[in-house]
Amino acid sequence: MEIEVDGKVIQLSEAGWMEDLSEWTEDIGKKIAEDVEQCDLTDESWDIINLTREMFYENNQVAEPRKFMKEMKKRFGKPRSSNKYIFSLFPKGGLIKSANKIAGLPRPKGCS
């Protein structure tokens, strides 16, 4: 699978994960959200995307959901720190499948 962003062809796996993570830009994230995950990104969506990227680069691994929710609660409060909330923004796959994919992060182990 591939997408085109700003005249550049970006290779994706069949499930929509980026093949070369170093190519990620916000515009690529927007295109993956639109074409692969069929979701509209809001400022709250970007809070999650940016936090997933921050935690990945701090720990060199995709955040474990419980740890991620704990950090969401710390930064954004209890109403924005539940799986239900994240699925409201990323209905096709929540944090693990959608937010990480849009953020240009590697596919977590055990995730299709």
64: amino acid identity, one letter: E
Q: How many Å apart are CA 2 and CA 51, to the nearest integer?
A: 25
60: amino acid identity, one letter: N
pLDDT > 70? residue 112: no
pLDDT digits (tens, 9 = 90+) for 11-56: 999 999 999 999 999 999 999 999 999 999 999 999 999 999 999 9
| Class in CATH terms, 43-102 | mainly alpha
Where do the structural domains in the chain lie, given as residue ranges? 2-35, 43-102
Predicted TM-score (pTM) of the model is 0.91
Q: How many Å apart are CA 51 and CA 57, to the nearest integer?
A: 10
Name the region of 6 (left: φ>0; alpha: ψ -120 to 50; beta: rest).
left
pLDDT > 60? residue 10: yes
